[in-house]
Chain A
């Protein structure tokens, strides 16, 4: 076992410091060390996208990143979507209204990917949505309702300006 290393990072606006083995994955740190269990692990080899979080605004797969690589970075996870008072984010509202989920296990990863998409492309075309989501797997919905959720979320966010 290699010596532990200190990692400092910010998640959803909160600063954390933890001492971790160099081999620890980012998702294990988020879930196990920081208690942020909303990010889920679906495949642990970077294919399914369930573990997607935003690192400095970019979607990354936290199962194939090491915690030590996250030192100094700013993260957003599913726990950071709703307001502190519990008001749901437009993406979350859209998923509920458009039935963008069934079992809900892949959903946090999808929502973070969509958050990145809509930041960069507020009014995406169907092809842009599909390209953005092409690396994420949902086994329940058959994706149609997720596509609708993205469209609805885009409208909601645009209305908010």
Chain B
């Protein structure tokens, strides 16, 4: 049967909404603030061993020999592992695009600094690390391929000998009459940009405890998995095991942001467990391992961009050429980050034609991983610089050129040139809100005064889209399979009327268990305390993926409301029999099942559930004694992309407008954020405090990307930023606390009108800060084209300007 999801909070079965849409405290927090939450490193199993992994010190080398004998002889070392074991027991890693990877432990050669080469399992981590020092590896170094442009040349040395070159993927997508638009344009603007590697860095690194049952040939893994079911499928494929013999239990984990990584560590610990007779093997990645060999790095990009513009500022076409440095393999799904910009290619603007010339190249660096936002943040950075470049030349205010190009509010749903459909939006309203909050005209006057004093003060104003509710169909063009991505929940009411929701994903920080609790307490008219959310393993959970792609809030809302509706149908049949009426005469309101128009004939949900469980004599014949229901939600109306990759991929399009004022110290090149304002529209906010928290958190990550964070490799492929002393995360001193406004333009396509939320600021903040920096630099006639705009880069730019 077709499900009718409540379109807004008013459609919920209550006379007055009590929980949903309210900033209720999180159910996750009491455990967390008392240190009781079971993060993976808190778990100890009987007989457990500890793994340590030996990583390659070379960016590129042949392995001539590995001698594990001294390590194996160390007291306390139970077993050891090398690439030979991986070749014997596993398939090469699954990669996207396909065919660009090796085994989880290096076999004949290493391709990046940090690549796992060997591993040991010992009775303590201390002994395991001692043993690493006793492993004798003979390497024959090969010249590393570090520069992306050189790597992309046809005559470049190769990262993989079995490929013709280092090009993992190359394609030009053309949407609309691009060439014609450029020919007819009054103005064409071109610029090149560089976005350096940044990445997730959750405070908890990846960790796992693996057990290989050598009798049953079944696996059990406990760990900090962002997507446990997905990882379980990967293990079944890697080890050629029946998928129902792979059990994954996700522990609560300390953040992920897409970059938790862990595939190699999972497979290595599983093989160690197998060699150790099935003893559990724990591996907790340390921070330096995370930075150099984990899921830490993303978005290593070189851009050439051009836009076609009319005299009045209307942008008629956008061309983006991207050379994206994937690192040594395509194992980490990082390539999806280069494709995702297609879901919001032209931003908030009604640009009718666009072209994406995309090249993914292999180099001897760490393979890139996903990171919050999944690719559009660098794309938005370059697009928004181009808008400002055009505005300057046409003598338009940066806010005005954006206003002139916005998709008008009356044109939604709107299909952008690259094929995705935006569900709804009020971009001009968000811009106006920000300009009003900031007192924009006064700010510009302030800026003029500062400039008159010789100070470098600039303002950036940027609006972006956060594509929400990802679907696999977005990534078909680089070889992922499938359409749809189900997220399920089982909702059960027990004989005491208490509600349990079983889901397949663990705590990660976004507060999803709180949202589920709000929804169920609302739907069945209970207190929040009457609902409990539990995580179950992949073999027990309904279909699920977990957090990712700005999707879970919407998807789990659909799942919960679907399951609640299914459960209500059962309860309704029982109540109808009790009252001797037809099921269609019964309605659920405020936790009571009542006969329509006869409100005094009513039974509580709790009573009906108890009847189902304890009074089989009262059950209708077509109802089983089980007050439970399962529902899995996926986005409606998704299909395959067309021949140019165009597809309705992400179901929702949230919008944010940021205005930031910065000052650059010409003596040091340091940027200070003077003022910051945000208007954010992610549709219905299921828990506004959750949303506010994620906006501020993503803002901090955006500040880091724009000003501080950068993975630096030298010409030998050595990582120079392998500690937090060198890879600079923002602290409380660097992060502004903006004035924030919420706009609510509900999605017409989702349950309750919610949109994907949680990424908006990282899509917007780097672009806005860079626009402000370039506004500040304007009097000097120089332009910052590289992210992060670190003090040394800006200082050099400023010095260069004064030399002229």
Contact = CB atoms under 8 A, between A and B. Distances in A.
Contact-size category for B: 35 or more
Interface string B16-58: 0000000001101110111111010110000000000000000
B167 interface: no
Interface in A23-69: 23-24, 31, 36-45, 47-48, 50
A139 interface: yes
A103 B28 CA distance: 9
Given A78-B34, A92-B33, A137 B696 contact: no
Given A103-B202, A105-B204, A96 B26 contact: yes
B510 interface: yes
Contact of B29 (A44, A47, A95): A95
B263 interface: no
Interface string B41-81: 11000000000000000000000000000000000000000
Contacts of B507: 103
A42 B36 CA distance: 17
A44 B286 contact: yes
B34 A99 contact: no
A67 B734 CA distance: 34
Interface string B683-699: 00000010011101111
Contact of A40 (B33, B204, B735): B204
Interface stretch (B2-10, B454-462, B722-730): B722-730
Given A37-B41, A96-B29, A137 B729 contact: yes
A92 B29 CA distance: 9
B203 A38 contact: no
A91 B579 CA distance: 52
A102 B693 contact: yes
B203 A147 contact: no
B701 interface: yes
Contact of A143 (B41, B130, B735): B735
B287 A45 contact: yes
B518 to A, nearest CB: 15
A145 B287 CA distance: 26
Contact of A137 (B28, B32, B203, B693): B203
Interface stretch (B107-115, B137-145, B252-260): B252-260
Contacts of B130: 1
A88 B34 contact: yes
B508 interface: yes
B204 A103 contact: yes
Interface string B165-209: 000000000000000000000000000000000001111100000
22 contacts: A37-B35, A40-B204, A40-B254, A41-B284, A45-B723, A48-B724, A50-B203, A78-B33, A88-B33, A95-B29, A102-B693, A103-B203, A103-B253, A103-B254, A103-B507, A104-B28, A104-B37, A104-B509, A105-B255, A130-B732, A139-B202, A143-B731
Given A44-B287, A99-B26, A105-B202, 12 more contacts: A38-B35, A38-B36, A40-B41, A88-B33, A96-B33, A102-B693, A104-B28, A104-B37, A105-B255, A134-B732, A139-B201, A144-B696
Interface string A5-27: 00000000000000001011000
A118 interface: no
B788 to A, nearest CB: 17
A102 B509 contact: yes
A102 B697 contact: yes
B733 interface: yes
Contacts of B729: 48, 137, 139
A111 interface: yes
Interface in A106-121: 106-108, 111
Contacts of B230: none
Given A139-B701, A142-B697, A142-B735, A101 B42 contact: no
B41 A107 contact: no
Chain A contact-residue range equals 35 or more
B149 interface: no
A78 B30 CA distance: 12
Given A44-B286, A50-B203, A103-B253, A95 B696 contact: no
A37 B126 CA distance: 18
A103 B735 CA distance: 19
A4 B510 CA distance: 43
A32 to B, nearest CB: 8
B373 to A, nearest CB: 14
A135 interface: yes
Interface string A72-90: 0000011101100000100
B724 A137 contact: yes
Interface in B699-757: 699-701, 723-725, 729, 731-733, 735, 737
A37 B732 contact: no
Given A37-B42, A103-B203, A47 B724 contact: yes
A70 interface: no
A140 B699 contact: no
B467 interface: no
B504 interface: no
B203 A105 contact: yes
Nearest to B738: A144
B511 interface: yes
Contacts of A106: 203, 254
Contacts of B255: 102-103, 105, 139-140
B126 A104 contact: no
A103 B203 CA distance: 9
A158 interface: no
B257 A23 contact: no
B33 A42 contact: no
Nearest to B25: A96
A107 B29 CA distance: 10
A101 to B, nearest CB: 6
Contacts of A142: 693, 696-700, 735
A116 B732 CA distance: 18
Contacts of B42: 31, 37
A160 to B, nearest CB: 18
- Give 6 nearest A-B pairs by CB, closest first: A38-B35, A105-B254, A104-B32, A103-B509, A142-B700, A142-B696
Given A39-B35, A78-B34, A103-B255, A134 B735 contact: no
B509 A140 contact: yes
